[in-house]
Amino acid sequence: MKRAVFLDRDGVLNIEAGYIHQVEDLHLIPGVAQAVRRLNDKQIFCCLVSNQSGPARNYYPVSHVEALHKRLCQLLENEAGAKLDALYYCPYLSEAEGGTNPEFTRYTTWRKPNTGMLVAAAWEQDLDLRNSFMVGDKATDVDMAHNAGCTGILVQTGYGESVLSGKYQHHTKPDFVAANLVVGVDWILKHFD
């Protein structure tokens, strides 16, 4: 089994901009492409895991989420020759949480902080969750990491600062707090050598 680094999307890889309705409005956070490339160079499995409730909220179709991910991958490649080895996302949302599109309105184990995306990735990609890392900017990212037995890293980009101050979501206990993905990857690599 391989160890992996799981990465949230918004606020970790790309600049947090709410629901991105125009594909060209997705922009990388400075330094993230190089950080992902460092993981690639060490042959560490890099996997996106992201809640994307836009389709459930009827903001845009799943094809738009796929187009955003295509742009994300293209930007990583263009900037540093970096790549994600797999991408998992959850377009579903329960009615209680605001889902309105019947096709995507349901409870699912894939929505963070549930572990469905990590379990699916581990199963399909032969990954060792107990020795893997999850990097996110929300309490739910850290909670998902811990629920699956991963090490949870909270970055201060995106919503990270608001989580730490108690203004967003709820308090959580990350295994490490990083200013951004670059610092997070520095810390992760110390645990791989």
Q: What is the pLDDT of residue 128?
A: 97
Instruction: Using the predicted structure, report yes or no on whether residue 12 has a pLDDT greater than 90.
Output: yes
Residues in binding site: 8-10, 16-19, 50-53, 90, 111-112, 137-138
186 lies in some domain: yes
Mean pLDDT confidence for 131-159: 98
Strand order in the sheet with 86-90: 86-90, 45-51, 4-7, 133-136, 151-155, 176-178
10 has catalytic annotation? yes
Mean pLDDT confidence for 17-33: 97
Residues near 158 by Cβ (< 8 Å), separated by ≥ 6?
Answer: 8, 10, 11, 12, 16, 137, 138
What is the Cα–Cα distance from 150 to 51, expressed in whole angstroms? 18
Span 76-94, pLDDT tens digits: 999 999 999 999 999 999 9
DSSP type of residue 61: -
Mean pLDDT confidence for 121-131: 98
81 lies in some domain: yes
Q: Which residue among 10, 85, 141, 143 is the active-site one?
A: 10
Nearest to 122 by CA among 151, 88, 83, 82: 88
Q: What is the pLDDT of residue 83?
A: 98
Instruction: Using the predicted structure, report yes or no on whether residue 160 has a pLDDT greater than 70.
Output: yes
8 has catalytic annotation? yes
Domain of residue 145, CATH code? 3.40.50.1000
**Number of domains, the chain:** 1
DSSP type of residue 107: -
Mean pLDDT confidence for 129-149: 98
What is the Cα–Cα distance from 69 to 23, expressed in whole angstroms? 9
2 lies in some domain: no
75 vs 170 pLDDT, higher one: 75
Instruction: Quote the mean pLDDT of the chain.
Output: 97
Helix (H) or strand (E) holding 183: helix 181-190
Instruction: Using the predicted structure, report yes or no on whether residue 193 has a pLDDT greater than 70.
Output: no
Instruction: Write out the two tokens for 85.
Output: 């080895």
Instruction: Using the predicted structure, report yes or no on whether residue 126 has a pLDDT greater than 70.
Output: yes
Span 103-120, pLDDT tens digits: 999 999 999 999 999 999
Mean pLDDT confidence for 65-79: 98
1 lies in some domain: no
Instruction: Using the predicted structure, report yes or no on whether residue 8 has a pLDDT greater than 80.
Output: yes
Helix (H) or strand (E) holding 34: helix 32-41
Q: Is 48 left (phi over 0), alpha (psi -120 to 50) or beta?
A: beta
Residues in binding site for substrate: 8-10, 16-19, 50-53, 111-112, 138
Residues in binding site for Zn(2+): 90
What is the Cα–Cα distance from 164 to 171, expressed in whole angstroms? 7
Q: What is the pLDDT of residue 66?
A: 98
Q: Taking a C-beta distance cutoff of 8 angstroms, is the pair 55, 101 a contact?
A: yes
3-state secondary structure 123-143: HHHCECHHHCEEEECCHHHHH
17 lies in some domain: yes
170 lies in some domain: yes
Q: What is the pLDDT of residue 192?
A: 82
**Residue keyed to tokens 């037995």:** 149
Q: Can you give the residue range of the structural domain that contains 71?
A: 8-108+116-191
168 lies in some domain: yes
